[in-house]
């Protein structure tokens, strides 16, 4: 491929109104929001429900799904019908529903061949006293259903205190909810399959209640899963890089670039997703140097070369 075709690929986020959303994606990240509560920025996505457009460069105006389908060499000739990952920023002004996601096998069978949904959360902002729901205490399908029927949420749900910089891996089958006041970067499989257990009896703008999915939830909950007590990151930082998690679906790293400590980040992967979540600086791949700032999202394609990062900023990056 030509050198220009191997340049970093910058994406325009897709923005989604949500009942529980707010306006922080505008005030904190400078995005031009539609009217109403906006809960989700789909920052790197080729999913049909939010297919990001490329901004600038030789691929300007292309959808990410089009690049995936027509120029698979940019992604190291990865196999699969769908771009495998989806990166979001979530602004939870109110509590999200109590929910659970299926694994790949269940989703493929019951959701028209969809991927399941393994995901992880990096806490971008949280106030003192904030909590998040990760896990539950029921030991069986029957016990879970009974506690839900009786509304005994304090007995059922595992609420974890959080602070900015915490990290949680949320496996399929984990009951979970992001609670109000929290700003989160989410890396996940490219799936939009969510089973709601409870939605606080909230009304949508038309007055209706959102659909619940109790039977599917009971099918997929992992009743043997150990619930976490903390999201504190204990992995070491090495030359500015902390590996937050490695799973069968993705690896996620945090990169901290300081004015006196630039970071050289190897890019041997089929592709690399990157989101600047704090500060600003420059990213250089091969002969190409770009200015980036908080709220910038990009893909480093296969063959672009290692990344040289300078400035004062933090990035969350992921690859398969």
Contact between residue 100 and residue 175 where contact means Cβ atoms under 8 Å apart: yes
258 is catalytic: no
Structure tokens at 109: 């069978």
Burial 69-84, CB ≥16 within 10 A → b, else e: eeeeebbbebeeebbb
Cα distance between residue 305 and residue 18, in whole Å? 38
- Candidates 24, 131, 159, 196; catalytic one: 196
Residue 89's DSSP bridge partners are 41, 185
Return the closest-CA partner of residue 105 out of 186, 200, 219. Answer: 219
Structure tokens at 200: 């606080």
Contact between residue 316 and residue 277 where contact means Cβ atoms under 8 Å apart: yes
Burial class (CB in 10 A: 0-12, 13-18, 19+), 98: buried
Active-site annotation, residues = 196
């Amino acid at each position: 491929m030509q050198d220009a075709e191997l340049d970093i690929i910058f994406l325009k986020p897709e923005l989604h109104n949500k009942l529980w959303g707010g306006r922080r994606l505008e005030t904190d990240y400078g995005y031009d929001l539609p009217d109403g509560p906006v809960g989700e920025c789909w920052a790197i996505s080729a999913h049909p429900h939010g297919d990001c457009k490329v901004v600038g460069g030789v691929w300007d105006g292309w959808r990410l799904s089009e690049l995936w389908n027509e120029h698979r060499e940019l992604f190291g000739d990865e196999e699969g019908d769908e771009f495998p990952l989806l990166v979001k920023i979530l602004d939870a002004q109110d509590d999200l529903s109590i929910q659970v996601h299926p694994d790949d096998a269940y989703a493929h069978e019951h959701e028209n061949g969809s991927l399941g949904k393994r995901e992880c959360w990096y806490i971008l902002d949280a106030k003192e006293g904030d909590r998040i729901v990760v896990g539950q205490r029921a030991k069986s399908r029957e016990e879970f259903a009974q506690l839900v029927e009786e509304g005994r949420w304090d007995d059922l749900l595992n609420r974890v205190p959080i602070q900015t910089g915490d990290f949680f891996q949320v496996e399929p089958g984990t009951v979970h909810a992001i609670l109000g006041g929290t700003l989160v970067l989410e890396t996940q499989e490219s799936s939009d399959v969510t089973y709601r257990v409870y939605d606080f009896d909230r009304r949508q703008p038309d007055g209706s209640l959102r659909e619940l999915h109790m039977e599917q939830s009971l099918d997929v909950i992992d009743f043997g899963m150990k619930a976490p007590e903390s999201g504190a990151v204990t992995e070491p930082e090495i030359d500015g890089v902390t590996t937050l998690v490695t799973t069968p679906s993705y690896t996620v790293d945090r990169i901290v670039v300081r004015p006196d400590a630039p970071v050289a980040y190897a890019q041997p992967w089929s592709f690399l997703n990157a989101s600047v979540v704090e500060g600003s600086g420059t990213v250089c791949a091969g002969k190409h140097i770009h200015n980036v700032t908080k709220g910038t999202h990009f893909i480093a394609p296969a063959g672009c070369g290692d990344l040289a990062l300078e400035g004062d900023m933090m990035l969350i990056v992921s690859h398969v």
